[in-house]
């Protein structure tokens, strides 16, 4: 087992969640209530990481973070380090390619709330914040939890984008998925097998939890 | 002291203006798609119409430019499917509308409201564990918890069975007698409106067709449209003739006496209610006391429990079929079956004439 790679993957997944979840929560709630002709385009843009090859996303992210890009130059001036091939760069990339995994389950959960329930909340004198915290969040929480689980697991398993943006620097950008690839290249099938099994079990647990929460969401809706 | 509502909107089309009595139950009645639910949502600002001018007893809620936010309006709302918060118990639902009240007093008040709505025993249950009638009562308790000055009810009885509905009518009437809140009730059921509302507003295509005390609107439609919305089946064409200051209604070969207030000449439309068609007992001869006696023959008979409907073709008016309602025992007693000759009368005061002749 490559414990530094596993630790790095867990650190990356946690950082991604911490950055992405609040942003995705806000975006999902807004999208769920937004009525506009532009909505399919915005939704399509957010869903792009689902259909684009990871190498394509990785390429664009690498260009956006490179030393010639405004973002890359700004980061280098501010920190003295490059954004590409760094852990911070990996977090940025991870946030971007996880957007659909975070936004979509939450958006569906907010959309599933009966409009009559929200109107009743207004008529009960609840402010927008009270309605969000007391009514919408509790009703959407299975979707929020599902989004968190999916994002976490997907970050652990992502390979292409991480390799493009972060390269393969042990202790800095080498995640568990890249470590598996590395072990296979060096014919260390024992370590590769153990890490693959660990990822398999995590993925299975993730999907099971996700389905369980979706089921619970449906039951909650049945009033 | 009134609730004044003036609403104009494009989709759905609304051009509504009415003053409704405060402290009374007013029913908004109209066919599906007539805009009654949209109108109900306007005082809660759940609909944002192009123009809204709404005041309750002089307090301005909407004045065209300025609008009081929904949560600041002293309203209670019972939507069609109750809108209960599915993750909260019945008690939690009622407590949510009492957030301005401090903790212990809030719980006490919420329990009182559930008790008033006869669902105190359901306090700990989630909405999915309640029957339709219980959900309706919890929604009503939640809406009443804030002591609203206006209670909005959107077809609240449509999803419960007939027996539950009847007991809910009684409970709502009792509740209103104890706590005379201004209520606006949307329904397409005229019987429901008749049982609950003291005032009735008939709506069609977003416009007021007729408004007034329920009994008056139900029995004296002002227009043919109102008569159609009230589902009055006896709606016919005739002709008014005035001779020596007495106006008569010519209906085929018949000359019917009219009330003294009816004046005019020429073609008209007229209506009368089925319950105002009086059966002339065969064992009782025609007399001068009968107004507008007519002969006819029964074409069909339908027994609806203690009441029956008889379809009659009046003599000399082939193809014109009117409806008469009478107790089923009268049907049996006078042996009225399809094909039987029937003598009946319609009092002059019960004839309602439309068009420009009134």
Q: What angle do CA A39, A41, A47 make, to 5 degrees?
A: 105
What percentage of chain A carries pLDDT values higher than 90? 39
Res A17: pLDDT: 93
Domain spanning B2-229: CATH 3.40.50.300: yes
- Between A96 and B159, the more confident residue is A96
Which residues in chain B land under pLDDT 70? 1, 285-289, 355-358
Chain A residues inside the 8 Å CB shell of B80: 116
Domain spanning B235-347: CATH 3.20.20.30: no
Can you tell me which residue has the tokens 């405004």? A70
- CA–CA separation, B240 and B247 (whole Å): 7
The full set of domain ranges for chain B reads 2-229, 235-347
Q: Which residues of B340-357 are buried (b: 16+ CB within 10 A; e: fewer)?
A: bebbbbbbbebbbbbeeb
Can you tell me which residue has the tokens 């936010």? B69
Alpha-carbon distance A222 to nearest alpha carbon in chain B (angstroms): 6
Give whole-number Cα distances, A52 to A45, A48, A49, in Å. 11, 6, 5
Q: What angle do CA B115, B116, B117 make, to 5 degrees?
A: 90
Compute φ and ψ for B35, nearest 5 degrees.
95, 10
- CA–CA separation, B312 and B296 (whole Å): 6
Alpha-carbon distance B216 to nearest alpha carbon in chain A (angstroms): 33
- Mean pLDDT, chain A, rounded, equals 88
Is the separation of the CB atoms in B294 and B314 below 8 Å?
yes
Q: Name the token pair of B182.
A: 């201004």
Res B356: pLDDT: 52
Is the separation of the CB atoms in A129 and B92 below 8 Å?
no
Q: Name the token pair of B89.
A: 């118990």
- CA–CA separation, B51 and B8 (whole Å): 5
Q: Is A116 in contact with B75 (Cβ distance < 8 A)?
A: no
Nearest to A19, CA basis, from A106, A109, A116, A148? A148
- B238 contacts chain A (CB < 8 A): no
Q: What angle do CA A16, A20, A21 make, to 5 degrees?
A: 110
Res B357: pLDDT: 42
- B94 contacts chain A (CB < 8 A): no
Q: Is B79 in contact with A138 (Cβ distance < 8 A)?
A: no
Give whole-number Cα distances, A106 to A13, A38, A217, B134, in Å. 18, 20, 11, 31
Give whole-number Cα distances, B13 to B152, B184, B206, in Å. 20, 20, 6
Chain A residues inside the 8 Å CB shell of B127: 223
Q: For residue A127, give the nearest of B71, B143, B152 by CB distance.
A: B71
For the question of an ipTM over 0.90, the answer is: no
Strand B235-243 relative to strand B266-271, pairing: antiparallel
Chain A residues inside the 8 Å CB shell of B72: 125
Q: Name the token pair of B128.
A: 């999915």
Give whole-number Cα distances, A173 to A115, B43, B172, B292, in Å. 45, 59, 68, 100
Q: For residue A221, give the nearest of B71, B82, B86 by CB distance.
A: B86
Alpha-carbon distance A82 to nearest alpha carbon in chain B (angstroms): 48
Is the separation of the CB atoms in B270 and B352 below 8 Å?
yes
Nearest to A122, CA basis, from B345, B332, B187, B146? B146
Cβ atoms < 10 Å from Cβ of B25? 24
Burial class (CB in 10 A: 0-12, 13-18, 19+), A56: middle
Res A198: pLDDT: 85
> For residue A167, what is the enclosing H or E element?
none
- CA–CA separation, A199 and B332 (whole Å): 84
Cα B319 off chain centre by: 31
- CA–CA separation, A5 and A11 (whole Å): 10
Alpha-carbon distance A211 to nearest alpha carbon in chain B (angstroms): 20
Radius of gyration in angstroms for the set of CA atoms belonging to chain A, rounded to a whole number? 20
Q: Is A122 in contact with B76 (Cβ distance < 8 A)?
A: no
- B97 contacts chain A (CB < 8 A): yes
- pLDDT greater than 80 at residue A216: no
What are the DSSP calls for A33-60, one per residue? H---TTHHHHHHHHHHHHHS-HHHHHHH
- CA–CA separation, B169 and B25 (whole Å): 12
Res B323: pLDDT: 95
Is the separation of the CB atoms in B219 and B253 below 8 Å?
no
Alpha-carbon distance B157 to nearest alpha carbon in chain A (angstroms): 16
- CA–CA separation, A158 and A12 (whole Å): 11
Q: Is A123 in contact with B80 (Cβ distance < 8 A)?
A: no
Q: Is A135 in contact with B85 (Cβ distance < 8 A)?
A: yes
CATH of the domain spanning A3-31+44-221: 1.10.3720.10
The arithmetic mean of pLDDT across residues A60-80, rounded, is 87
Strand B59-63 relative to strand B14-21, pairing: unpaired
pLDDT band of A220, cuts 50, 70, 90 = low
Is the separation of the CB atoms in B55 and B221 below 8 Å?
no
Q: Is B87 in contact with A220 (Cβ distance < 8 A)?
A: yes
pLDDT band of A203, cuts 50, 70, 90 = confident
Q: For residue A125, give the nearest of B84, B86, B146 by CB distance.
A: B146
Q: Is A123 in contact with B135 (Cβ distance < 8 A)?
A: no
- CA–CA separation, A113 and B86 (whole Å): 10
Nearest to B80, CA basis, from B12, B25, B149, B160? B160
Q: In sequence order, which residues have a C-beta less than 8 Å from that of residue A90 and are 6 or more positions away?
A: A12, A162, A165, A166, A173, A175
- CA–CA separation, B182 and B22 (whole Å): 5
Residue B281 DSSP symbol: P
- In total, the C-beta contacts within 8 angstroms joining chain A to chain B are 75
Q: Name the token pair of B326.
A: 């009478």
Q: Is A220 in contact with B142 (Cβ distance < 8 A)?
A: no
Alpha-carbon distance A133 to nearest alpha carbon in chain B (angstroms): 12
Cβ atoms < 10 Å from Cβ of A138? 14
Res B358: pLDDT: 42
Res A207: pLDDT: 79
Mutate: best of A120, A129, A141, partner B, most B CBs <10 A = A120
SS3 B206: coil
Phi/psi zone of residue B294: left (φ > 0), alpha (ψ -120 to 50 degrees), beta?
beta
Alpha-carbon distance A111 to nearest alpha carbon in chain B (angstroms): 15
- pLDDT greater than 90 at residue A114: yes
Q: Is B83 in contact with A120 (Cβ distance < 8 A)?
A: yes
pLDDT in tens, B224-271: 999 999 999 999 999 998 887 788 899 999 999 887 777 788 899 999
Give the sheet arrangement for strand B352-353, strand by strand: B254-257, B246-251, B235-243, B266-271, B352-353
The arithmetic mean of pLDDT across residues A198-204, rounded, is 84
């Amino acid at each position: 087992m490559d414990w530094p790679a596993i630790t790095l993957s867990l650190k990356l997944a946690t950082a991604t969640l911490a950055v992405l979840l609040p942003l995705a929560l806000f975006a999902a709630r807004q999208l769920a209530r937004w009525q506009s002709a532009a909505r399919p385009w915005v939704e399509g843009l957010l869903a792009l990481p689902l259909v684009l090859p990871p190498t394509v996303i990785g390429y664009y992210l690498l260009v956006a973070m490179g030393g010639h890009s405004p973002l890359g130059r700004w980061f280098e001036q501010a920190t003295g380090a490059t954004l590409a091939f760094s852990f911070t760069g990996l977090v940025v990339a991870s946030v971007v390619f996880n957007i659909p995994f975070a936004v979509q389950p939450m958006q569906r959960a907010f959309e599933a709330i009966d409009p009559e329930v929200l109107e009743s909340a207004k008529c009960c004198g609840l402010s927008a914040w009270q309605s969000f915290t007391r009514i919408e969040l509790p009703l959407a929480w299975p979707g929020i939890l599902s989004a968190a689980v999916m994002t976490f697991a997907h970050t652990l398993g992502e390979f292409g984008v991480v390799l493009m943006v972060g390269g393969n620097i042990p202790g800095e950008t080498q995640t568990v998925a890249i470590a598996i690839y590395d072990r296979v290249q060096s014919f260390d099938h024992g370590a590769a097998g153990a890490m693959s099994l660990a990822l398999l079990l995590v993925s299975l647990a993730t999907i099971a939890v996700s389905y369980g929460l979706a089921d619970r969401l449906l039951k909650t809706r049945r009033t | 002291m009134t609730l004044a509502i003036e609403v104009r909107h494009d989709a759905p089309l609304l051009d509504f203006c009415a003053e409704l009595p405060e402290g009374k139950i007013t029913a908004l009645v109209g066919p599906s798609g007539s805009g009654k639910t949209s109108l109900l949502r306007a005082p809660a600002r759940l609909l944002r119409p192009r123009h809204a001018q709404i005041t309750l007893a002089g307090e301005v809620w909407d004045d065209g430019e300025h609008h009081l936010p929904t949560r600041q309006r002293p309203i209670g709302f019972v939507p069609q499917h109750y809108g209960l918060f599915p993750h909260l118990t019945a008690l939690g639902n009622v407590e949510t509308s009492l957030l301005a009240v401090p903790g212990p007093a809030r719980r006490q008040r919420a329990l009182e409201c559930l008790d008033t709505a006869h669902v105190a025993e359901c306090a700990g249950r989630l909405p999915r564990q309640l029957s339709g009638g219980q959900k309706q009562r919890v929604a009503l308790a939640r809406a009443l918890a804030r002591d609203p000055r206006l209670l909005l009810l959107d077809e609240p009885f449509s999803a419960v069975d007939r027996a539950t509905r009847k007991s809910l009518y009684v409970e709502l009437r009792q509740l209103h007698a104890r706590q005379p809140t201004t209520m606006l009730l949307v329904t397409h059921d005229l019987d429901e409106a008749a049982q609950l509302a003291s005032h009735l507003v008939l709506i069609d295509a977003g416009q007021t067709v007729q408004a007034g005390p329920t009994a008056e609107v139900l029995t004296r439609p002002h227009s043919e449209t109102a008569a159609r919305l009230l589902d009055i089946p006896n709606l016919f064409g005739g002709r008014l003739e005035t001779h020596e200051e007495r106006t008569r209604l010519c209906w085929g070969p018949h000359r019917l006496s009219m009330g003294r207030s009816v004046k005019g000449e020429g073609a008209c439309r007229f209506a009368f209610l089925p319950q105002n068609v009086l059966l002339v007992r065969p064992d009782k001869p025609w007399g001068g006391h009968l107004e507008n006696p007519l002969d006819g023959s029964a074409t069909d008979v339908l027994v609806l429990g203690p009441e029956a409907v008889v379809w009659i073709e009046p003599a000399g008016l082939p193809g014109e079929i009117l409806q008469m309602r009478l107790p089923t025992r009268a049907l049996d007693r006078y042996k009225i079956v399809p094909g039987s000759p029937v003598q009946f009368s319609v009092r002059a005061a019960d004839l309602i004439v439309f068009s420009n002749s009134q």
